[in-house]
Amino acid sequence: MTGAGELVSAFIAAIESKDLEQVIGMLTDDVVYDNVPMVAVTGHKGVRQALSAFLDSATAVEWAVSRQTESADGTTVWNERVDRFEIGGRWIEIPVAGVWEVRDGHIALWRDYFDLGTFQRQLEG
Amino acid sequence: MTGAGELVSAFIAAIESKDLEQVIGMLTDDVVYDNVPMVAVTGHKGVRQALSAFLDSATAVEWAVSRQTESADGTTVWNERVDRFEIGGRWIEIPVAGVWEVRDGHIALWRDYFDLGTFQRQLEG
């Protein structure tokens, strides 16, 4: 059985591959994806809509994880990342801290903390 | 010897007490305090300047930790919090994810991820 940390690493690899079906298959039916400065969405449909918006606009996606910790009980994963998106020929970079809950081998919660202005200024710049 | 998670909890209690000398005493000499959307400061002098600015302007400080995880090797602590500041008779609330490194019973790194706009809009509102 895959550990929670390995599941989150595989999920991030699927995001980088822009493989939305693989991404959705790693989530519980009632998953919550909470982009803290923006909105929280629920369920496969909500995540699909939220992710397709930015995965479609990016020609390449690289999420560089600098640190990741799994809780002793194996249910929670934390990571620090720099999420990079190539959009319109330029790379946009956002420092992110994520917290993830894993249940029955699937991601049940994915909450990302970041500065929305850091993203918006690069998008407009 | 106090565990890393307990040290971080005691540090947050000292922040809430606005006891700057106690806060500084919990840090390594070469501490890095990295407010991700803003700046990183280094050393006791840097932290003292950064913290006194907002502790002095707040009449009350409450940091509500909703989740905290210590790494298996006891060197790293992660937490999710809502940091609340009473400023000018109003409460300002900021969701934060923090990552902390502990060395020899002192905090060596304190890095907070949050949305600066969430803070600024409440300050101006």
* DSSP sequence for A9-77: HHHHHHHHTT-HHHHHHTEEEEEEEEETTS-EEEHHHHHHHHHHHHHHH-SEEEEEEEEEEE-TTSSEE
Mean pLDDT of B106-115: 98
Mean pLDDT to the nearest integer, A88-94:
95
**A81 has pLDDT over 80:** yes
- In this complex, the residue of A36, A71, A95 whose CB is nearest that of residue B36 is A95
Spatial distance between the Cα atoms of B29 and B93, rounded to a whole number of angstroms? 30
Mean pLDDT of B80-98: 96
For position A92, what pLDDT does the model report?
96
Residue B2 has pLDDT above 80, yes or no: no
Q: In angstroms, rounded to a whole number, what is the distance separating the alpha carbons of residues A70 and A99? A: 10
Q: How confident is the model at residue B70 (pLDDT cuts 50, 70, 90)?
A: very high
Does B125 have pLDDT greater than 90?
A: no
Residue type, A17: S
Split at pLDDT 50, 70, 90, the class of A1 is: low
- Tell me which of A21-30, A48-57, B99-108 is least confident: A48-57
Provide mean pLDDT across the span B63-72: 97
Label residue B43 left, alpha or beta by phi (over 0 means left) and psi (-120 to 50 means alpha): left
ipTM of this complex? 0.95
Q: Is A112 a catalytic residue?
A: yes
Q: Which residues contact A112 (CB under 8 A, 6 or more apart)?
A: A34, A35, A36, A96, A97, A98
State mean pLDDT over A81-109: 97
Q: For chain B, what percentages of helix, strand and coil (3-state, to nearest 5) are there?
A: 35, 45, 20
**Strand, helix or coil at B45?**
helix
Alpha-carbon gap, residue B25 to B11, rounded angstroms? 10
Pairing label, strands B76-87, B60-70:
antiparallel
Picking from B115, B116, B118, B122 by the largest number of A CB atoms within 10 A of its own CB, the best residue to mutate is: B115
**Do residues B78 and B69 lie in contact, with contact meaning Cβ atoms separated by under 8 Å?**
yes
Rounded Cα distance between B72 and B62, Å, is 28
* A46-61 as b/e: b if 16+ CB within 10 A: ebbebbeeebeebeeb
Q: Is B83 annotated as catalytic?
A: yes
Q: Which residues of A touch B40 (CB under 8 A)?
A: none
The answer, yes or no, to whether residue B1 has pLDDT greater than 70, is no
Out of A71, A96, A113, name the one closest to residue B95 (CB).
Answer: A113
Find the length of chain A.
125
